């Protein structure tokens, strides 16, 4: 059994999508970020950075407990544990990792930075716009790619799709103009949203 400590942010959703899609049994422990539940001594013992998501796998590698933070590390861990959503073939795996990293290390952090700017005490409109433009540019590239392939890394769903969808879902909810008018992204997002595991994962 796995314990998941998370909130309904893109990083929290990414970890929960991983568990749901990989079919790994887990217990959700909702963390209220506005109440500082991610800064308690007990939480910091799991992740000294004081950030969600965190999983604790009581039956980790070698039968030993494993505590893991970083939503993308959790995605990869779940894929490897279940043997799903990640090709072992080197070229396909490399392409998938490229897609995964764009979603996890380009798009999601820029969205986080955008959110930080607009919610700060002194919001700076040109900086917020710059982040929105950068997000839009990444999604335009995705739109072009998804016009030529079914999923982010080819014909099969991979953890790259899960990572991008977690970012997409939050962005669509907060700054819909970033993804508006991108027909291929919309087609892909509809297919992702129809997956029962994703529907369960997004309900925080």
Ligand X SMILES: N[C@@H](CCC(=O)N[C@@H](CS)C(=O)NCC(=O)O)C(=O)O
Least Å from the CB of residue 109 to ligand X: 7
Contact with ligand X (CB under 6 A) among 2, 4, 5, 11: 11
Please state, in angstroms and as integers, the Cα–Cα distance from residue 140 to each residue in 66, 136, 137, following that order. 38, 6, 5
Contact with ligand X (CB under 6 A) among 70, 102, 158, 163: 70
Least Å from the CB of residue 196 to ligand X: 24
Q: Please give the residues from 106 up to 125 whose contact with ligand X meets the rule CB under 6 A.
A: 112
Least Å from the CB of residue 53 to ligand X: 6
Q: Which of 116, 149, 45 is nearest to 54 (CA)?
A: 45
Tokens 């990083």 sit on residue: 11
Specify whether the CB–CB gap between 5 and 31 falls below 8 A. yes
Please state, in angstroms and as integers, the Cα–Cα distance from residue 142 to each residue in 83, 87, 130, following that order. 26, 21, 19
Q: For residues 11 and 156, what is the distance between their CA atoms, to the nearest angstrom? A: 23
Least Å from the CB of residue 57 to ligand X: 16
Contact with ligand X (CB under 6 A) among 51, 102, 158, 163: 51
Contact with ligand X (CB under 6 A) among 2, 18, 68, 71: 71
Residues near ligand X (CB under 6 A): 9, 11, 33, 38, 50-53, 70-72, 112
């Amino acid at each position: 059994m796995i314990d998941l400590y998370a909130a309904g942010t893109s990083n929290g959703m990414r970890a929960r999508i991983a568990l749901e899609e990989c079919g790994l049994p887990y217990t959700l422990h909702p963390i209220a970020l506005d109440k500082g539940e991610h800064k308690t001594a007990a939480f910091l013992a799991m992740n000294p950075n004081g950030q969600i998501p965190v999983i604790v796998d009581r039956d980790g590698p070698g039968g030993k407990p494993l505590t893991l933070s970083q939503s993308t590390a959790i995605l990869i861990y779940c894929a490897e544990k279940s043997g799903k959503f990640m090709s072992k073939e080197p070229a396909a795996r490399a392409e998938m990792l490229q897609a995964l990293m764009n979603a996890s290390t380009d798009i999601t952090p820029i969205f986080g930075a955008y959110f930080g700017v607009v919610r700060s005490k002194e919001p700076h409109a040109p900086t917020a716009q710059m982040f929105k433009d950068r997000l839009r540019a990444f999604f335009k590239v995705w739109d072009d790619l998804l016009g030529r392939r079914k999923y982010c890394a080819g014909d099969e769903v991979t953890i790259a799709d899960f990572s991008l969808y977690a970012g997409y879902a939050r962005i669509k909810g907060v700054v819909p103009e970033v993804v508006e008018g991108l027909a291929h992204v919309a087609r892909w997002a509809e297919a992702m949203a129809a997956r029962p595991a994703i529907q369960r994962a997004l309900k925080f």
